[in-house]
């Protein structure tokens, strides 16, 4: 069974928190805080785990939403933020972009618009995490290959090692289903294919979102 994404809502108005819990609770796992300070304390204490996305108001008494985002990022919490405001002036939007807020929505926001933004941001963030994991894995494979190469150089001439090939995924001009390529080339090809796949997934979710909004 697929786990629900964890959405956090931060707003100083209790009625707003209850509204979002009611309209989002059937789709996501929703946590709510009526104070940005309480939210930040929950982050630092480890109470909040596996956060997928945060929805917050811009104007709040104890601390504005932009300051809250900055302090969350200072704790190495870089999940997507959706910021809501009753009036989206140009400076507020620019400030939000500067701190990495992913979406700015004007209050009141239609449920369909909010849901579309949440779905798209969750998908984009998941793609970002997968791409980061791919980069890390590829780097680790290159390091492993370098160590193995150093060991082999003690027993095998370098020109022979450079000619070592592995079975690739195919697709060469001759139509060979398993083209031969070096280990480095295989890694580069793998990374390129995965990037293409992730970009395609992002395009699909954007098309679905635009269709849903229209």
Q: How far apart are CA 176 and CA 21, in angstroms?
A: 56
Distance set, CA 92 to CA 59, 101, 116, 134 (Å): 11, 11, 22, 35
The pTM assigned to this predicted structure is 0.64
User: Do the domain assignments include residue 119?
Assistant: no
d(CA 70, CA 196): 32
CB 170 within 8 A of CB 187: no
Model confidence band, residue 205 (pLDDT cutoffs 50, 70, 90): low
Q: What is the CATH number of the domain that holds 44?
A: 3.40.50.2300
The number of folded domains in the chain is 2
Q: Does 41 lie in the same domain as 134?
A: no
Question: 45 or 171, which is more confident?
Answer: 45
Burial class (CB in 10 A: 0-12, 13-18, 19+), 162: exposed
**104 and 131 within one domain:** no
Looking at every residue in the chain, the average pLDDT score rounds to: 77
Question: How far, CA to CA in Å, does 9 sit from each of 33, 60, 69, 83, 148?
Answer: 6, 13, 13, 10, 49
Question: Residue 180 domain-assigned?
Answer: yes
Q: Residue 29's domain spans which residues?
A: 6-109
Residue 114 is assigned to a structural domain of this protein: no
Do residues 23 and 99 both lie within one domain? yes
Tell me: pLDDT of 170 over 60. Answer: no
Q: Within a domain: residue 121?
A: no
Residue 207 neighbours by CB distance under 10 Å: 10
Whether 144 and 209 share a structural domain: yes
Same domain? 24 vs 105: yes
Reading phi first (left if > 0) and then psi (alpha if -120 to 50, else beta), residue 45 is in alpha
To the nearest 10°, report the CA torsion of 45, 49, 55, 56.
Answer: 0
Instruction: Indicate whether 15 and 87 sit together in one domain.
Output: yes
**Do 97 and 38 fall into the same domain?**
yes
Residues 6+ apart with CB under 8 A from 99: 66, 69, 70, 73
In a shared domain, residues 52 and 94 = yes
Which of 80, 109, 138 is a domain's end point?
109
Q: Is the residue at 73 inside a domain?
A: yes
- Asked if residue 117 belongs to a domain, the reply is no
Which pLDDT value is given to residue 183? Answer: 64
| Residue 42 banded pLDDT, cuts 50, 70, 90 | very high
Q: How many angstroms separate the most distant Cα atoms in the chain?
A: 73
For tokens 């095998």, the residue is 156
- Quick check: 115 pLDDT over 50? yes
Query: Both 92 and 152 in a single domain?
Result: no
* Final residue before a domain boundary, out of 82, 109, 136: 109
- What number is the average pLDDT over the span 22-27? 89
């Amino acid at each position: 069974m697929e786990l629900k994404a964890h959405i956090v809502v931060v707003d100083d108005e209790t009625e707003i928190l209850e509204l979002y819990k009611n309209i989002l609770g059937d789709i996501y796992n929703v946590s709510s805080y009526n104070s940005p300070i309480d939210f930040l304390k929950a982050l630092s204490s480890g109470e909040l785990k596996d956060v997928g996305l945060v929805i917050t108001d811009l104007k709040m008494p104890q601390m504005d939403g932009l300051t809250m985002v900055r302090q969350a990022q200072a704790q190495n919490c870089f999940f997507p933020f959706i910021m809501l405001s009753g009036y989206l002036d140009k400076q507020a939007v620019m400030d939000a972009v500067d701190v990495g807020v992913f979406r700015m929505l004007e209050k009141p926001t239609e449920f369909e618009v909010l849901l579309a933004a949440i779905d798209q941001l969750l998908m984009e963030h998941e793609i970002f995490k997968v791409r980061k994991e791919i980069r890390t894995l590829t780097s680790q494979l290159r390091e492993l290959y370098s160590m193995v190469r150093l060991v082999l150089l003690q027993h095998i001439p370098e020109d022979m090692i450079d000619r070592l090939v592995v079975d690739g995924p195919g697709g060469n001009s001759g139509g060979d289903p398993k083209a031969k390529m070096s280990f480095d080339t295989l890694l580069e090809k793998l990374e390129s294919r995965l990037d293409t796949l992730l970009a395609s997934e992002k395009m699909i979710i954007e098309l679905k979102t635009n269709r849903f909004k229209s």
